[in-house]
Structure 1
């Protein structure tokens, strides 16, 4: 028929679709016929004819003749690919900076970085990746990674609160739940007084720190047989006594104490042979010294010196001097 055109379109599967269409049809009619054949919505691709691009939104009301499309014309379909990652949109009240990202050194002026509470700059994606790497390493505290470019021994001692990270990294609901779960799990695994029940894997702590033979209420409820286990080896209690659990593999020592006993020594503010891991003097959380000053603040709020283990006095002053003043090393916490 003289009023029909046959147009060949190479689609996304390298197939050639043949479209029969009226000569006076509009571009939107051509896209509609292709949607019937390919299942692709018009806005998800463009078409190229010779050196001309045909876009649905721009050209849908134009006619085939406007592009000089003739019988047996050959067109190529070009898919429009959306970004694979979620766009992180910051609140208007967040302070932005042109300073380069402290991890990637990105300094794109069209993609500004956020200014952290300590004043250092980082992009939301870098912030998310950095914090996730810490959590995947078993950590639960977020220290600023900034290092002086002229002296790598000098860095930023500021710890970022998760509430700040959640807001500045623009975490999705899924990411927020992932981070909250990992923070809690990492915290619990490092706490000296918290372990998992070997049967139901609930987190638990002893009512009395003197008890070695303990009972899990979750496993023993609902008419089930009473479940007792050894706090040290985390195996079912097999003896009638309270001092020995009856398991040959049990060393009779709290495995968390072994972590403190085996901690490698390091130098802190000029003091050598300081144990690299300490237990918080208030809650028992195991804390590893990473870098810089000797003063620590546990997640429970307790502040103490990593070297001498002394807290602040009643007036809020450090008993062992300033953050870089040498003091006497306290023994390993193995009792």
Structure 2
């Protein structure tokens, strides 16, 4: 199988044909000598990062690859002792830097916040999370301070442009199957994707509201939860290095019952702060912090791994 880094003109050969994105990422990561978490299979033109469970046979070739940075560094002149706007654990030793608005953040948290804003919230700007600030950061500043690779820079700069074009478009919606934007013809909820319909040989429709595949007697609330549950069930397991914890689901739901926001663990310790509701909790055991302190020990101490969450509990 052929693949190409999105910042390069050269095409490389994998020497085999992996069946899933997960398999492809594992093989490509091995060639680069990095962990597969730092390799993404993307569609630059559509601003898509493909899920690891997706089959490779239907994707354009060569595969478009984004290689990330396993070790984001902070230039010494940018280092600050101010608390991180996301990670407030006073024992966290990861270097923090100051953004142009004066507030501090680690490079990994900066990259994670940028990724979440552009990919999950689908916004064209990235803002400071400090209460009362919300300053907009220029992408050039984010690229430099998050120590992004050329691949990451190319992809996320394109994603910002993509989000800008589509942020307030109420007549098109992204197909959950292939990522193509489909035009809404009527006020009805079922929306047909011509691309998927052509590939499948049968009409493929999805719900305009919750993006689930359309079926008879569709109910948004239930189908949306089912899609959410599949994301949690299929999330790859990972090792949280600083806490020495194995087999932790890489995606969790915020344990705050009134929030339930989807959060992905990027790097560093088990302490997590929900970017939506600001709840601090342990990403491994899912216990919510009390007075800012984890109930399961310090950020670098191991604890139990809570099972995959059930989104239907409490509904």
Structure showing greater radius of gyration is 1
TM-score of the superposition, structure 2-length normalised?
0.37
More helix as a share of residues:
2
With CA pairs under 8 Å and 6+ residues apart, which has the higher RCO, 1 or 2?
Answer: 2
